[in-house]
Structure 1
Amino acid sequence: MTLAILFGGSSYEHEISIVSAVTLKKVLGASHRLLFIFLDPERRFRLVDAAAMKSDHFASGAYKKDPVLSLGAGGFTLPGGLLKGSKPVAFDVLLNLIHGRDGEDGKIAGMMDFYSIPYIGPRLEGSVISYDKLLTKLYARELGIGVIDYRLLRREDPRPDDLEYPLIVKPLRLGSSIGVSVVRSPEELDYALDVAFEFDSEVLIEPFIEGIREYNLAGCKTSVWEFSIVEEPHKEEFLDFDKKYLDFSRDEKVREAVVDETLRERLEEAFKKIYDPLFAGSLIRCDFFVREGEIYLNEINPIPGSMAHYLFDDFPALIERLSSHLPAEAPIGVDYRYIHSIQKAKGKA
């Protein structure tokens, strides 16, 4: 199978996406033929040679010499010269690996659906729900899954003076812990809000609960439900951007969390409710909190860093199976019957 990996994008998480793509080259390169399509910061699609898939190829600007692709019905094409037509870029399935804006907000999903390109990744509805942390919480509550209490604050709103500390401040539509701060006193709040508002016009404020347990579970639905191991991240307070940058580049399997079978089953049941049907065709990771036996959804990662490959025993085989179970839009036949009937009634048939 030929797999096209789409990465980059116009996003604060642009570099994270590059790291994920370089990592997946190592993880999938031995089992799949890989093509790499880079969405540059100016939103041009470029075909990158596999041999050039190193971080400095992008940081140095060398990618600007890579050929620009066109996107249209059926897929991507390389433009031809004066005497040659465009050449299709052939692949079986595209893997959407663009973190943040463009990749996770629905733009790429919309384009892939519009041009009937088979792809692994969140569809439009799942993208919209998971990209916005407020919508994620509302979605989880509708499913009967708990969420941590929160307050929404807009840039133009007055700064609140009735908060309990410690708390955590998060930009509403951003991942990789960019702009996130733990605030332990009122004196720290203004700075934390200023940082968060650099990245988004709206932020969420949540209580920061000491000692809460966090568990990550990834998976997808093929012909059956397929789950990863349960991971319990070990961190000081939370993984900041620098730690996640390094974390996404890992290519070894992580240690499984020590959880009893009952808790694992409850996490899997919560995952199923979240996944089906909005995230069909995706491999997602859900980050849960557990406190006093209650499960809370913290975040849906519709395109997890490096696709959370390190949580699975045989990630290449999983990608192969998922590629064979992708949803597709049902065709709609348009025959202009209604217009013809009107014209006939008017005697214009």
Structure 2
Amino acid sequence: MRVLVIGGGQNAEHEVSLASAAAVAEALRAGGHEVSEVTISREGLWEAAGVTEGATVAASLTLAMPLVAAADVVFPAVHGALGEDGVLAALCALAGVRVVGSGPRAGAIGMDKWATKLVAEAAGLRTARGRLIDAADCGDSEFEGPVVVKPVSAGSSYGVSLVRSEQELAPALREAARFDRRILVEEVVHGREIDVAVIKQGGRVRWAAPPLEIHAAGLFDTAMKYDGSAQFTVPAQLSADETTSITRAALTMFDALGCAGVARMDFFLTADGPVLNEVNTMPGLTAASQVPRMFAAADVSYVDLVSRLVRAAEVPGR
């Protein structure tokens, strides 16, 4: 098929998105697809062959729309705001073009950590106790014991801090406010960090790959995610009951959000069962990322994985 891969984006995950898009494009070509590529700059310019350099953001999007229209499928490998949050899926929906991944609604809710918590709890899943504050109210916040401070809508752990003392709270809130005016303050959950990837294929069949465990001393922060120091075990060493409970929780959340394509559900596995941490509706997709590792453990190669996603693509809302 003719696939347009979109990378980059206007957020802190720009470089990560470029890496995902490059890997996806290479794998799709290896799978026999005809691939074109476009990059969204940090300033929002759509950059591709034939798109005028120096154009305004709106003009560059206009010039890039024929690429969207000519594609059988759009693969938006853009993580974070103005990408993973359903914006690009909405553009494809308006254009009537099939898109890989979740539609606008699931992308928007999944990107919003507070909304995700509300959906999870309504679906019967546990999440960490937390409260939502506005950046304008940071000075009035009180320290209530060890907490995790994070922007409501950001990825790759940007702006996330583990706060152990009252003196650390204000700097952590200011750091989170750099990425979003809405800030989530959560209790610290002690448990094993387990990820589960769920895919929906043709015929609306969805299934979960073997879970992956993250081994991190302390916070699994941005630096550890991308400096090569992170250690993973896949499949995670879990009992049959643990595997069943965490897989069921991942499928429940996938369905509750109405996800499509592939999504990664991140949990803490505690003595009382799984606690949902967050959802990624367009997770990292280099061959070394967690999701491809999990599917490799299910004997699904990276080239096969991205091809399956393309084949399952739909026009959102139809």
TM-score, normalised relative to structure 2: 0.84
Match of 1:37 in 2: 38
Is residue 47 of structure 1 aligned with residue 48 of structure 2? yes
Is residue 317 of structure 1 aligned with residue 304 of structure 2? yes
Q: CA deviation at 1:277?
A: 6.2
Q: CA deviation at 1:303?
A: 0.6
Q: Which amino acid aligns with 1:322?
A: L
For residues 95-114 of structure 1, the aligned pairs below 5 Å read 95-114=75-94
Q: CA deviation at 1:330?
A: 6.9
- Against the structure 1 CA distance between its residues 187 and 162, is the aligned structure 2 distance closer, same or farther, given a 3 Å change threshold? closer
How many residues in Structure 1 have an aligned counterpart in Structure 2?
Answer: 301
Q: CA deviation at 1:284?
A: 0.5
Measure, in 2, the Cα distance between the counterparts of 1:302 and 1:38: 20
Measure, in 2, the Cα distance between the counterparts of 1:181 and 1:329: 35
Higher helix share: 2
8 Å Cα contact 1:127/1:302 also seen in 2: yes
Measure, in 2, the Cα distance between the counterparts of 1:276 and 1:190: 37
Match of 1:226 in 2: 207
Match of 2:23 in 1: 23
Is residue 155 of structure 1 aligned with residue 135 of structure 2? yes
Measure, in 2, the Cα distance between the counterparts of 1:330 and 1:123: 7
Measure, in 2, the Cα distance between the counterparts of 1:292 and 1:40: 45
Q: 2:237 aligns with which of 243, 250, 258?
A: 258
Which structure has more relative contact order (CA 8 Å, sep 6+)? It is 2
For residues 1-349 of structure 1, the aligned pairs below 5 Å read 1-33=1-33, 34-47=35-48, 70-71=61-62, 76-77=65-66, 90-157=70-137, 158-164=139-145, 166-210=146-190, 212-222=191-201, 223=203, 224-246=205-227, 255-276=234-255, 278-306=257-285, 308-313=291-296, 314-328=301-315
8 Å Cα contact 2:104/2:316 also seen in 1: no
Measure, in 2, the Cα distance between the counterparts of 1:186 and 1:121: 41
Q: CA deviation at 1:70?
A: 5.0
- Deviation per residue, 1:294-334 (Å, 9 max, x gap): 21110000110116222212232233333333344677xxx
Question: Where in structure 1 are there 5+ consecutive unaligned residues?
Answer: 50-62, 79-87, 332-349
8 Å Cα contact 2:7/2:77 also seen in 1: yes
Measure, in 1, the Cα distance between the counterparts of 2:277 and 2:240: 21
8 Å Cα contact 1:230/1:257 also seen in 2: yes
Question: Where in structure 2 are there 5+ consecutive unaligned residues?
Answer: none
Pairwise CA RMSD of aligned residues? Answer: 2.9
Where 1:153 maps in the other structure, the secondary structure is: strand
TM-score, normalised relative to structure 1: 0.77
8 Å Cα contact 1:281/1:322 also seen in 2: no
Match of 1:347 in 2: none
